[in-house]
Chain A
Amino acid sequence: MPQLGESIAEATVIHLLAKPGDWVDADQDVMEVETNKATLNITSPCPGKVQKVLAKANESYPVGAVLGYLEVSDEDAARLGLDHVAPIDSEKGEQNGKAPAITEKQGVQPTVRGLPVPAHASGASYMSPRMKARMDELGLHAADLAGIAGSGAAGRVTIQDFENFLSSLEKHKLTHASSMRVAVADAMRRSWTRPLATVGLPVCIDALLAHRKQLDTKPGPALYALRALALALAENSAPAGRLIGNKIVHPPAIDIGVAVEAEDGVLVPVLRNADRRPLSEMVARYNELVALARQRRLPADATGGSIATVTNFGTFGLTWATPIPLPEQTLVLGLGAGRQAPNWDAQKNQFVPIMEANLTLSFDHRVLDGGAAGRLLARIAALMGEPEKL
């Protein structure tokens, strides 16, 4: 029974105009029905053969009720959206190709599930568009918000919280941060987005100090560590590789940087192909780069492109440190201050004094684990134990 008019819920069959076995054309009248407003005809939706008539004269049927079945061609069935098998049950199913019986409810299936976007504008990590715009204006990052308590939904920092925070800063002593400071801050922030870990071990530097004494040029101990790192990486460059997606990108050349404190920050001049030349041939260049770095007069080609860095935190008197690798590097090798320490001598069956310093290796834990880091560090320590071979 089709929808015959607004507010028509049912109609009474007056005359049956087609019987089983009759062939009917599209739009041919098959039944005459009467509603409370008018008498009208129900027509066939397409050409076909009347297979079965369920409706009876003088009976009333609701809109959507099955009145009969029409045998039609596959194309017509497909065109009318009825090319699936209709249930045999005459109470339900589709009649004459018109609207499905009202007892069948078909929900609309959503076509998009689980969008990978946050649905809620709340929570400590949410930054509203206005917040982002304001932070861009001030050159700030999410890390700068870490100290602000949020009064918004689920603790988010609202623009109001942010502006209040900024104006509260006026009450404090404020000094200018140099561009060097800001640059280092940005590099460290970016580096810290990775999972970093540190391993360390003590190394005896008596041999190194003796070797150094006999040289005229007296290179810093960091150069020995740098050369040992270069040779170890030349043997196996994977630990200095970078992880991009599921690929390890191996370093193209063993260029090692050395961290130099310069005024308000750190500069990292680079010794190119540090695996190719012996230590004695690198001393002059090393000393020159360190001096230039301290004066902030490094030429542009002297920095950048290094695959690992060495830092001598021992110059500050520190015995232990966990430096942070540069954001584009996986490794940073640190050398602590040397000091007299007791070492067990099995042969003499007693402690003997040695000069000892800690070597630490901080690394991006995505690229290598403690084992590989430990093996690398042990190799470096072993190489540093034979300084004449560096």
Chain B
Amino acid sequence: MSITYLEAIRAAQAKALADDPRVFIYGQDVGAFGGAFKATKNLSEEFPGRVLDAPISEDAMIGSAIGAAIEGMRPIIEIQFADFSTTGFNQIVNHAAAFFWRTDVPCPITVRLPCGGTSGSGPFHSQSLEALYAHYPGLIVMTPATVEDAYSMLLEAVALDDPVIFCEHKFLYYHLKAERLPSEAMPVGKARIARPGRDMTIVAYSAMVHEALAVAEELATEGTEVEVVDLRSVKPLDTDTVVASVARTGRVLCVGEAWPWGGVTAEVVARIASEGFGLLDVPPQRLNAKDTPVPYHPNLWMVHRPTARSIGMAARNLLRM
């Protein structure tokens, strides 16, 4: 039996609906249609009245879900593309994120954002917005890279009383498969050593973990052992695991698919520089998407985000320093 990243997300939602009557799913086309990416396929039949279609207004949809959450429900909101969440940004960051701080009443929403692009998806169907949400206190931002994490972290997201931004990666939906679903998992806030190494560290999250692993495989044939750290959640960020890895290797490259300014890679490098300066044998490096809107043309898109090739070049530069 093999299960894809998308199927794991669907299975997690099914389990959440089955285990907790307070859970419901709300999003555009999630009902009979089964969701834009089929993440909720058949769930509205299996759980009648618990998988609801929303109007085309993220503002209204998220606002309604927040209202339900503060009244005791546990909504899972599916946004069709992470890019569209910005039309409901105010609801998320000024209502959901701050609600518990202001009123002592938790707001346990889970917002599922399909992030990242594919060739031809263009500037409004490709964004990775984890840094935007991580910036606001009160939100938890998860960025699962594996099928197992997609399953267990979504279950944890629903169980947490905090509002959670669950950043799924579209590219991984159908391409990533696993043997079975896990029965236990590391808690949110802990990073995972995806591959142990000795000569340098690559810190990555979501789809970039797989690109980093490909680079590590290639460099291993040249006698270099690259350690890959999968952040799993960007907020809370597991600084300890990252700094411990740098302590082992002395060289670090942080890779993110989002834009450079103020991104997750900037945060990681800032923490390494201030907490682990004496561990660095070379200046810490970061690699991000180019600082332009995500291109539509396939030739431009191919060079816009980090790939195994560009990460490999950056890694080799780091080793030569």
- Interface set of A (CB-CB < 8 Å, partner B): 121-122, 128-133, 152-153, 158-160
Give the contacting residue for B278; candidates A121, A132, A158; CB below 8 A.
Answer: A132
Interchain CA distance A122-B321 in the complex, whole Å:
7
Interface residue from A132, A133, A153, A159 paired with B320 (Cβ < 8 Å): A153
A245, B283: Cα distance in complex, Å: 34
Question: In the complex, A131 Cα to B282 Cα: how many Å?
Answer: 10
Specify which chain B residues have a CB less than 8 angstroms from the CB of A159 in the assembled complex. 250, 281
A-contacting residues of B (Cβ < 8 Å)? 250, 277-283, 320-321
- Cα–Cα distance between A152 and B283 once the two chains are bound (Å): 13
* Alpha-carbon distance A132/B279, docked complex (angstroms): 9
- 12 A–B pairs (Cβ distance < 8 Å), ordered by A: A121-B282, A128-B282, A129-B277, A129-B278, A129-B280, A129-B281, A130-B250, A130-B278, A131-B281, A133-B278, A152-B321, A160-B281
Check if A130 sits within 8 Å of B281, measured CB to CB: yes
**Chain B neighbourhood of A130, CB < 8 A:** 250, 278-281
Contact between chains at B281 and A128 (CB < 8 Å): yes
B250 and A121: CB pair below 8 A?
Answer: no
In the bound complex, residues from chain B placing their C-beta under 8 Å from that of A153 are: 320-321
Which A residues touch B282, using CB under 8 A?
121, 128
List 10 A-B pairs, minimum CB-CB distance, nearest first.
Answer: A133-B278, A159-B281, A130-B281, A128-B281, A129-B278, A129-B277, A153-B321, A130-B250, A129-B280, A159-B250
Residues of A within 8 A of B320 (CB): 152-153
Q: How far is the CB of A118 from chain B (nearest CB, A)?
A: 11
Q: Which residues of B contact A132 (CB under 8 A)?
A: 278
- With most chain B CB atoms within 10 A of its CB, the pick from A122, A132, A133, A159 is A159
Q: How far is the CB of B286 from chain A (nearest CB, A)?
A: 15
Identity of the chain A residue whose Cβ is nearest the Cβ of B317 in the assembled complex: A153
In the complex, how many angstroms separate the beta carbon of A162 from the nearest chain B beta carbon?
9
Q: Which of B277, B281, B320 has the most A CB atoms < 10 Å from its CB?
A: B281
Q: Is the CB of A129 within 8 A of B279?
A: yes
Instruction: List chain B residues, Cβ under 8 A from A158.
Output: 281
In angstroms, how far is the closest chain B Cβ from the Cβ of A37? 20
Query: Least Cβ distance of A381 to chain B in Å?
Result: 54
Q: Is the interface of B mostly helix, strand, loop or mixed?
A: loop
A-B contact count (CB 8 A): 31
Complex contacts, B283 vs chain A, CB 8 Å: 121
Chain B's nearest CB lies how many Å from the CB of A121? Answer: 5
**A1 smallest CB distance to B (angstroms):** 26
Name B279's contact: one of A122, A133, A152, A160 (CB within 8 Å): A133
The distance from the CB of B198 to the nearest CB of chain A, in whole angstroms, is 10
Chain A's closest residue to B246 (CB) is A130
Chain B contacts of A152 at CB under 8 A?
320-321
CA–CA, A158 and B278, complex, Å: 13
**What residue of chain B has the Cβ atom nearest to residue A132's Cβ?**
B278
Shortest beta-carbon distance from A323 to chain B in Å: 38
**New A-B pairs, 18, CB < 8 Å, besides A122-B321, A128-B280:** A128-B250, A128-B282, A129-B277, A129-B279, A129-B280, A129-B281, A130-B250, A130-B278, A130-B279, A130-B280, A130-B281, A131-B281, A132-B278, A133-B278, A152-B321, A159-B250, A160-B250, A160-B281
Cα distance, A122 to B320, chains bound together (Å): 10
**Closest A residue to B278 using CB positions:** A133
The residues of B that contact A121 with a CB separation of less than 8 Å are: 282-283, 321
Which of chain A's residues have a CB closer than 8 A to the CB of B279? 129-130, 133
> Taking the nearest CB of chain B, how far is it from the CB of A149, in angstroms?
16
Residue of A121, A128, A131, A160 most packed against chain B (CB within 10 A): A128
Nearest B-chain residue to A153, judged by Cβ = B321
Q: Which residue of A lies closest to B320 (CB)?
A: A153
Expressed in whole angstroms, the Cα–Cα distance for A129 and B283 within the complex equals 9
The smallest beta-carbon distance between A150 and chain B, in angstroms, is: 12
Residue of A nearest to B198 (CB): A160
With a 10 A CB-CB cut-off, give which of A130, A131, A160 has the most chain B CB atoms.
A130
| A114, chain B: closest CB distance, angstroms | 20
The smallest C-beta distance from A124 to any residue of chain B, in angstroms, reads: 14
Q: Chain A residues with Cβ under 8 A from B250's Cβ?
A: 128, 130, 159-160
Q: Which residues of A contact B281 (CB under 8 A)?
A: 128-131, 158-160
CA distance A159 to B200 in the complex (A): 12
A248 to B90, CA, bound (A): 68
Which residue of chain B is the closest to A137 with respect to CB atoms?
B278
Contacts of A129 in B (CB 8 A): 277-281
Complex Cα gap A153–B320 (Å): 6
Considering the chains assembled together, what is the distance between the CA atoms of A158 and B280 in angstroms? 10
Give every chain B residue within 8 A of A131 (Cβ-Cβ).
281
In the complex, what's the smallest C-beta–C-beta distance from A239 to chain B, in angstroms?
A: 43
- Measured CB to CB, the closest approach of chain B to A160, in angstroms, equals 8
A131 to B280, CA, bound (A): 8
Nearest CB in chain B to that of A161: its residue: B281
- Say how far B16's CB is from chain A's closest CB, in angstroms: 41
CA distance A152 to B318 in the complex (A): 10
Give the distance in Å from the alpha carbon of A101 to the alpha carbon of B105 in the complex.
54
Q: How far in angstroms is the closest Cβ of chain B from A61?
A: 28
Q: CA A160 – CA B282 in complex, angstroms? A: 12
Q: Give the residues in chain A near B277, CB-CB below 8 Å.
A: 129
A120 to chain B, nearest CB (A): 9
Q: In the docked arrangement, what's the CA distance between A133 and B250, Å?
A: 12
Cβ–Cβ < 8 Å partners of B278 in chain A: 129-130, 132-133
B51 → chain A, closest Cβ, in Å?
37
